[in-house]
Structure 1
Amino acid sequence: MKHTSLRVSDDIETTKAWIQGCFNSPINWNFSLELLDVPTACSPRVIGLIGAVRAPEIGYMFNTSHWGKGYATEALRAFMPLFFEHYNGAVNERFEYAEAHTDEESVSSQNVLGKVGFKWYETREKDFENPIFGWRDTLIYRLYRPGSQSEGKPIGS
């Protein structure tokens, strides 16, 4: 939550309303991520989430104790084919690309996106107000649908 515009809420009703709003949105499609190799007494162990926040925008979030272990890269590699299949125009809107927004200081997230094939697209200056850091720039990364006309084209072409 460090690099989001949202504040953590201790109010159960506010949280329930936020989750219900996500469920009701056709461009919100999320999954919880479980760590499978834990003793049965601890299983299942949710370590984060991944999904389409406001498609075509995607995102992921992990418990800090699971950072730096490759889970975000693994999850994003598995999720992206599902994203393009889900948003293929048959039942849901079709998107030719997925987009990820990162805070300028979130270098580890930018590295994850690069490993999966996302490319920097643009920087939006003072794009959102973070409750901790104030106004922040956002780096936008895109990954185009395999086989799309834009796939592999340099930015700005």
Structure 2
Amino acid sequence: MTVIVTPRLILRRARPSDLDDLHAVMSHPEAMRYWSTPPHGDIAQTRDFLAAMIAGTPDDSDDFMVELPAAGGRVIGKAGCWRVPEIGYILHPDFWGRGLAREALEAILPHVFARFPVDALTADVDPRNAASLRLLARLGFRETGRAERTWLVGDAWCDSVYLALPRPAAG
């Protein structure tokens, strides 16, 4: 089981005991504002989501829980590739603006490139999510296209900005 330790985080595989912490993220309207589904209405929905993460095959996924030791080991979100090559992440809003998403992704991106023979990692971001677009740009992602009405979230259509991060040159 892969565990990545950064100066402030532990990035590890999901486990059933993460349910309450993950539900605190997935049920939070602000955290889920730009997610591909509405906030989770009950813990059973998060349980199903977590079970799918745990069951994800290592051949096509590399997803991590974001654990913050300074918060008593609380899981504050998740980051990684639910399906390679698409990267994604979500953190509880209480932990936004501290550079934690960047710290997690700076550790995860080289790990994913080392594990999978992909030419690039991709991201699909709601164009209203300026903070994520800035973060991904700082990490080297570049826009490759846009599309309208790509996600039906609840009863609202959302658009997409597509981004890619090429595999770093060897050497």
Report the TM-score when normalising by structure 1.
0.78
Q: Distance in 2 between matches of 1:29 and 1:113?
A: 18
Who is 1:76 aligned against?
A: 105
The percent identity for this pair of structures is 29
Who is 2:92 aligned against?
A: 63
8 Å Cα contact 1:5-1:131 kept in structure 2:
no
Who is 1:4 aligned against?
A: 35
Whether 1:122 aligns to 2:122 is no
Q: Distance in 1 between matches of 2:64 and 2:36?
A: 21
Indicate which of 49, 52, 55 corresponds to 1:18.
49
> Structure 2: any 5+ residue segments left out of the alignment?
1-31
Deviation at 1:121, TM superposition (A): 1.1
Q: Distance in 2 between matches of 1:33 and 1:80?
A: 14
Once the two structures are superposed, residues 94-148 of structure 1 have per-residue CA deviations (whole angstroms, 9 ceiling, x without a partner) of: 211111111010000001101111111111211111226x111101111011128
Indicate which of 154, 163, 167 corresponds to 1:131.
154
| Bigger radius of gyration among the two | 1
Whether 1:31 aligns to 2:68 is no
Indicate which of 126, 129, 150 corresponds to 1:106.
129
Q: Distance in 2 between matches of 1:55 and 1:76?
A: 14
Whether 1:48 aligns to 2:70 is no
8 Å Cα contact 1:33-1:50 kept in structure 2:
yes
8 Å Cα contact 1:73-1:112 kept in structure 2:
yes
**Quick one: structure 1 residues 20 and 98, their matched pair in 2 at CA, closer, same or farther if it must change by over 3 Å?**
same
Report the TM-score when normalising by structure 2.
0.72
Number of residue pairs matched? 136
Q: Distance in 1 between matches of 2:49 and 2:152?
A: 19
Q: Distance in 2 between matches of 1:79 and 1:11?
A: 28
Who is 1:143 aligned against?
A: 165
Q: Once superposed, which parts of structure 1, at least 4 consecutive aligned residues long, lie more than 6 Å away? A: none
Deviation at 1:11, TM superposition (A): 4.4
